[in-house]
Structure formats: structure tokens, C-alpha cells
């Protein structure tokens, strides 16, 4: 084999290896955060997450903001909190680094929530109670003293990161605005990652919201 051919082969191998390394790095950097739900408990100023239906528990690596939220709820939940988080899991070190906080709650929807797997979004408010479950097939509107009502809808994503869900079916004039902003439920104290404003037939209600399993 001539010197030229040998150099060409080495160059081709180097380019191929570099491309493989680039692909590997790119694929790794595009990995999506893992969403975990479970119980958070505190021991010696450190929080631990035990995911639903799991025996293992992981040391929670949290931002200063998340730690502040957790500490504000500690006195009301001596036996732990339910947490809905996304982040990066390192089983080797036993760490879960939280990237996004969807919900922190003392009571309410937890590991036994049968609706969660089919939801894009759940929004709710108090005084009077109302809730909206958003699924790919439609909305389910719940109001105190009224039967649940299924409605088709349209959704618009707005430039500021908020969204608007609306429908005029079944004689209902409904508009729901969802904003990426911390919201604390006025009755349960649950911390949500979204705030909600519902306009229903000329009445306006405030509330909180969180993504379901079908949307991260």
C-alpha cells in the first residue's frame, strides 16, 4: 500500500471516530429530564426522595429556591411531602438533582392519583371549588354541586410562555389562561408551577395548575 493510501485511510478513520464522538456527546446532551413522583422526607437538614412504588430513596439535590419552598412546608408535614419533580437521576451516587418542580403538597393528589397518566394539565381553584382536567380528547369541567361536563377545546400557545384554552360548546363560554408562575393553593397549601385564571360565563376565578403525565 502506498504512503498516500495509508495516510488517506488514517484520515478517514480519524474523521469517523470524531463523528462518533460528536454523535455520542450530542445524544447525551439531548437526554430529557426524568420525571419522578414520590415522598420527600427530611433528616438532618437533608431531603430524601422515595419514588412511588420504589424501595430505593435518593438524596435530593435542590436549588436554594426549592429548599426554601420545602422548608416552608416542613412544620405542616412532619411525616413528609408528596413531590412531583423532574431532573437527573444518578443511581450510582444515589442522587436526584431536581431541575423542575411541578408540585409540592401536604394533601391531595399523590401516588394513587388515577387521573394523572391521562392528563395534559390539571387546573383548580377554591371558593367556589372548580377544576378542569385537560386530556388529548377534551376538557372535563367540575364545579361544586354540578355534574362533570365534557367539552371539546382549542389551545393556543402565547409568546410569553403562557397558554389559553377555550371552548364555547354546550352553551359554555370558557377561557382558561395558564401562566408559568409559582402558585400556592389557598386551602391545601400545595405549591404548583403554574397559575390559572378561569373565565366561565362572565365569571372569573383564580387557581393553580400543573402538567399531567402527558406533558413535561
Q: How far apart are CA 209 and CA 216, in angstroms?
A: 13
Spatial contact of 29 and 88, defined as CB atoms under 8 Å apart: no
The beta-strand segments (E) located in the chain are 34-43, 46-51, 58-61, 81-90, 95-105, 121-125, 130-135, 138-143, 149-151, 154-157, 163-167, 174-179, 183-184, 191-192, 194-200, 203-211
pLDDT in single tens digits along all 216 residues of the chain: 443 334 344 343 343 333 333 333 333 444 678 999 999 999 988 999 999 999 999 999 999 999 999 988 887 888 889 999 999 999 999 999 999 999 999 888 899 999 999 999 999 999 999 999 999 999 999 999 999 999 999 999 999 999 999 999 998 999 999 999 999 998 989 999 999 999 999 899 999 999 999 997
CA 88 to the chain's CA centroid: 14
Q: Phi and psi (nearest 5°) for 207?
A: -170, -170
Indicate whether this model's pTM tops 0.85: no
Beta carbons within 8 Å of 176's beta carbon, 6+ residues apart:
123, 132, 164, 165, 166, 196, 197, 198, 199
Amino acid at each position: 500500500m502506498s504512503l498516500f493510501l495509508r495516510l488517506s485511510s488514517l484520515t478517514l478513520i480519524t474523521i469517523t471516530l470524531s463523528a462518533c464522538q460528536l454523535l455520542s456527546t450530542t445524544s447525551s446532551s439531548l437526554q430529557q429530564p426524568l420525571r419522578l413522583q414520590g415522598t420527600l422526607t427530611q433528616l438532618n437538614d437533608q431531603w430524601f426522595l422515595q419514588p412511588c412504588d420504589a424501595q430505593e430513596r435518593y438524596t435530593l439535590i435542590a436549588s436554594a429556591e426549592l429548599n426554601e419552598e420545602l422548608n416552608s412546608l416542613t412544620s405542616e408535614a412532619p411525616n413528609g411531602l408528596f413531590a412531583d419533580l423532574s431532573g437527573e437521576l444518578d443511581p450510582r451516587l444515589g442522587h436526584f438533582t431536581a431541575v423542575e418542580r411541578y408540585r409540592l403538597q401536604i394533601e391531595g393528589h399523590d401516588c394513587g392519583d388515577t387521573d394523572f397518566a391521562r392528563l395534559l394539565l390539571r387546573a383548580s381553584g377554591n371558593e367556589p371549588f372548580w377544576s378542569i382536567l385537560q386530556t388529548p380528547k377534551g376538557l372535563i369541567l367540575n364545579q361544586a354541586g354540578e355534574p362533570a361536563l365534557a367539552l371539546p377545546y382549542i389551545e393556543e400557545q402565547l409568546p410569553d410562555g403562557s397558554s389559553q384554552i377555550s371552548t364555547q360548546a354546550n352553551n359554555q363560554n370558557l377561557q382558561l389562561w395558564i401562566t408559568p408562575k409559582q402558585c400556592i393553593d389557598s386551602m391545601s397549601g400545595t405549591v404548583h408551577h403554574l397559575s390559572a385564571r378561569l373565565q366561565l360565563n362572565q365569571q372569573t376565578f383564580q387557581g393553580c395548575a400543573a402538567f399531567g403525565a402527558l406533558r413535561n
